[in-house]
Structure 1
Amino acid sequence: MVKNNIFVDVFEYRKFIISSIKTEFYSKYKRSKIGILWMIIHPFMQVLVYALVLSAIMQAKFAGIESQFSYAIYLISGFVGWNLYADVTSRLLTVFIDNGNLIKKVSFPRIIFPMVIVGVALTNFLLMFVSMFVIFAFLGHFSVEYLIWIPLVVIVTLMNAIGVGLFFGVINIFVRDVGQMMAIILHFWFWLTPVIYSVDMLPESYQFIIAFNPITGIVMSFQSILAFNKAPNLELLIYPFITGLIMLFLAFFTFKKANYEMADVL
């Protein structure tokens, strides 16, 4: 029987969650000649492309980043944060539909599926994070002084990503158009987040629009720590922290309401 306490379910099935995360990566690379090394090569090459190609195309300079590759450093710093948010959100939109056969056949807590998604996304984030520092070292931009703030920013990022992804992921079970709609919204959301530009590059009349985006403060916090080598402005994290709490509440409330109906609909 499926229990009612989500946190108890996650704790009791923690070994299964960890095993599922390992299986996710193993199954992806099991027939590969170099195997798990692709886990490092993929994010490394992605970061390398941003560093080299965009630095050649974009000649923007950012005060506080002492490097001729300042634009690439700025962009990559924000991109790792956005990528974590988008990865978790987009995967959660279809997590229950993708695992529909298991949900219909096996009786166990459905919350473990989102937790596996979060675990996989965090592993991808860590690999990209390491790759980023390798690239930064080659670009002459390497500092670990303010990395202590990264866990806080990651937690706020996950609060928002899990909240939005799980909420719409549950609704997507009953109204399949939601998943398609959110995929489009995420594309627009990227351009409303200061990843490839800074807020002060925009006309003042448009800056308030970017300020309404809760991911703006998250991305700017990653950029402060990684690109500008300074502590994040905690005031920028208050808004995304509040939106994260609200979305988490809505997500888990909706999940518990729909928990017993999932199998019938799927």
Structure 2
Amino acid sequence: MKEILAAIWSYRHFIVSSIKNDLRARFARSKLGALWMILQPLAQVAIYALVMARIMAAKLPGIDNRYAYVIYLMAGMIAWSLFAEVVTRSMAMFVDSGNLMKKMAFPRVCLPIIIGGSCLVNNLLLLLTAAGLFLVLGQPLSLAMLWLPVLIGINLAFALGIGLILGVLNVFVRDVAQVMTVVLQLWFWFTPIVYMASILPDGLRAVLEFNPMMHMAVAFQDVLLYRRIPHDILGLGIIAVAAIILLLFSLTLFRRASPEMVDVL
């Protein structure tokens, strides 16, 4: 672990410059540029809000805001978008960077750091935009938002742990990325983002308790909609521990598989 941390520190300038280049490359030929990072999730929120707002608005008792469901939806999407983007991009990072890994000598562990950093910038821009929209919609900011760095950190670590494992497996079995695309779609609908967990039967709600992203989405909704600290601290603590375990396991798997990965790529 010390070697990995030392390598990351030694190549910190390479990581920062790679994140900047990644952000530029993604929108190099786009006239709207980085605005697409914000417009895409906001468009998704708008579609769900138009379809579901009247049905779900009454399911949020205690919130005196006609746009409560929109805020609820955006809070959950902020949590989900970071997780889904990190996992999706991590699955393909070694395959997409095969030529770079063969031609350049650099610590391979920099790749997930670059992916995570790029996705984090995207998510922070989305969060800042959402905060501005909340003010426009009559939702004041609160001190509870000081919890956001903690929630984002746990979410990012959890996503990187899963993404790095899948990225290694995808080098050897390319079906992994295809299967996970479907899994992520199902995972989204098993997370209370578009709907509220309270409308579900008790049995199904008990099953959803085992979904880590449910606890993450609810924590973001607590902070951004209800303007309170996350009520499920125990659940967040379990996710944080799981994220650390996943990261340690994924790094161990990555170190052992790294020599073979270069040969396969």
TM (norm. structure 1) is: 0.91
The one-letter code matched in structure 2 to 1:129 is L
1:225 aligns with 2:223: yes
Residue 30 of structure 1 corresponds to: 28
- SS of 1:121's partner is helix
**Conserved? CA contact 1:51–1:69, under 8 Å:** no
Aligned residues: 264
Task: Using the TM superposition, name which of 135-144 and 81-90 deviates more.
Answer: 135-144
1:102 equivalent among 71, 79, 100: 100
The one-letter code matched in structure 2 to 1:238 is G
Residue 248 of structure 1 corresponds to: 247
Over 3 Å counting, the alpha-carbon distance change for 1:195 and 1:169 in structure 2 is same
1:113 aligns with 2:105: no
TM (norm. structure 2) is: 0.91
For residues 175 and 33 of structure 1, what CA distance do their matches in structure 2 show? 37
Structure 1, unaligned stretches of length 5 or more?
none
The one-letter code matched in structure 2 to 1:68 is R
Residue 141 of structure 2 corresponds to: 143
Computed over aligned residues only, the root mean square deviation of the Cα atoms, in angstroms, reads: 2.1
- SS of 1:127's partner is helix
For residues 151 and 62 of structure 2, what CA distance do their matches in structure 1 show? 21
Over 3 Å counting, the alpha-carbon distance change for 1:162 and 1:255 in structure 2 is same
For residues 36 and 177 of structure 1, what CA distance do their matches in structure 2 show? 31
Q: Give 1:28 shift.
A: 3.1
For residues 32 and 206 of structure 2, what CA distance do their matches in structure 1 show? 48
For residues 34 and 90 of structure 1, what CA distance do their matches in structure 2 show? 23
Residue 156 of structure 1 corresponds to: 154
- Alignment identity in percent? 39
Residue 123 of structure 1 corresponds to: 121
Over 3 Å counting, the alpha-carbon distance change for 1:103 and 1:132 in structure 2 is same
Structure 1 runs, 4 residues or longer, greater than 2 Å off:
27-61
Task: Using the TM superposition, name which of 182-191 and 39-48 deviates more.
Answer: 39-48
For residues 52 and 140 of structure 1, what CA distance do their matches in structure 2 show? 19
For residues 38 and 57 of structure 2, what CA distance do their matches in structure 1 show? 28
For residues 166 and 132 of structure 2, what CA distance do their matches in structure 1 show? 36
For residues 91 and 30 of structure 1, what CA distance do their matches in structure 2 show? 18
Q: Give 1:51 shift.
A: 5.2
